[in-house]
Amino acid sequence: MLIPFLAALTLVVAQAPAPTSSAKPVTVLLAPTDVTRGTPRYLVGTAQEHVAEQLKARGLEVIRVEDVTRTLPKKKRTAMMRCNRTQPSCIASLGMAAKTDVVMVTEIGPYLNAYKAGVRVYTAQDGAPLVEESVPGVSEDQVLDALNKSLDVVVPRTLRVLRPEPVAPPVTPPVAQQTPNVTPGEKQPVPGPDLTPGVQPPTDLGLSDTPTVETPGRRKWAWVPAAGGVVLAGVGTVFFVQSRGKLNDLNNNEFPTLAEAEQVRDSGKRSQTMGVVGIGVGAAAIAAGALMYFLPVKQTNVQPSVTLTPQGGGLSFAGTWQ
């Protein structure tokens, strides 16, 4: 009785469906290839089918444009099938009709005495180019291999943009506890203040842990935060000017790839953040130096602190003045 029961249990476990991933797969509208003069139609059709199978094998959901335009009126279907697949308006119309994440166009065209094969990916909402990759100078027998190499580059980049992986919080290593070595029968010393006989502890003398700074000493060192503030404000100004230059580059220049534009944008953001932090902290340091020099006080207990965040920073002084 036990053996048939175990066999049945093993069969049920083997037939149980595998747990599905919580992340929704990326949907791709596979738009028709722009047929150019000199490219055989059978090669275009073969490449289109090959790209569809490769996308499915990589975990993407493929939607063919024929399935989307089948229910459209003939005039609208003809206009959509004949629009230029390099124009954002054409890509956006295809993406809105299919309701997919991206639109992919297979590119096959003559290149010298051979072919150029690759794929282009656009965002379905506005038709903006997302990523592209191609391999030039391939023979007809090498077209499918060139498409595989292009997909190996394009698909991971598309997934990183549309399905970014969550960043795990940093793990704090446990603090090792040191156990004192205790020898049986030996008296252990009791920790306490190391005082010389005849000398009173600091608490009996009315001393505290916070240092007391007299007025002449305070004014003497007031130039330290002021000078540091001037340096920080100058450095922050330089970074802020650099960020404005990056913004002008993005507005006035055209970049060959989206990656280069994103690199310039990220560099400008870093320069802007460092500029704001430098100017803010520098201004706070200058104000602190002015307060230390001009306020008429006899004694002061001051504790400076600096706070830096990705959005800015600050320099603060806390204490009591008498």
Q: Mean pLDDT by 10-residue block, N- to C-terminus, for the chain (322 residues)?
A: 45 43 79 74 89 93 83 74 75 83 90 91 89 93 94 93 76 69 62 54 50 56 77 84 80 76 81 83 81 65 55 55 50
Q: DSSP character for 204?
A: G
User: 216 and 158, same structural domain?
Assistant: no
Q: Which domain holds residue 224?
A: 211-321
36/104 same-domain check: yes
Task: Tell whether 254 is covered by a domain.
Answer: yes
- Answer yes or no: do 158 and 229 share one domain: no
How many helical (H) and strand (E) elements, i.e. helices and strands, does the chain have? 9, 8
pLDDT, residue 12, reads 42
Beta strands in 12-143 (DSSP E): 27-31, 61-64, 102-111, 114-123, 129-138
What whole-number distance in Å separates Cα of residue 143 and Cα of residue 152?
14
Question: Are 153 and 34 within one domain?
Answer: yes
Domain final residue pick, 127, 162, 197? 162
Instruction: Please indicate, yes or no, whether residues 217 and 157 belong to a single structural domain of this protein.
Output: no
pLDDT of residue 167: 66
314's enclosing H/E stretch is strand 312-321
For residue 101, what is the domain's CATH number? 3.40.50.10070
- Short-list 298, 282, 314, 306, CA closest to 218: 298
For 48, 95, 132, 156, the CA distances from 28, given in Å and listed in that order, are 13, 9, 14, 14
Last residue of a domain, one of 136, 162, 188: 162
| 157 shares a domain with 235 | no
Claim to verify: residue 32 and residue 158 sit in the same structural domain: yes
Do residue 125 and residue 227 come from a single domain? Answer: no
Q: Tell me which of 129, 162, 195 is where a domain ends.
A: 162
Question: Where is 318: in which H helix or E strand?
Answer: strand 312-321
| Entry field: residues in the chain | 322
pLDDT of residue 194: 53
Same domain, 139 and 219: no
Domain assignment present for residue 302? The answer is yes
Shared domain for 150 and 63, answered yes or no, is yes
51 and 155 in a common domain: yes
pLDDT on residue 55: 93
C-alpha distances in angstroms, 205 versus 163, 196, 247?
65, 15, 62
**How big, in percent rounded to 5, are the helix, strand and coil portions of the chain?**
50, 20, 30
Nearest to 103 by CA among 33, 22, 21: 33
Residue for token digits 């991971």?
156
Question: Could you tell me if 313 and 221 lie in one domain?
Answer: yes
Phi-psi region of 36 (alpha: psi -120 to 50; beta: other; left: phi over 0): beta
Does the residue 2 lie in any domain? no
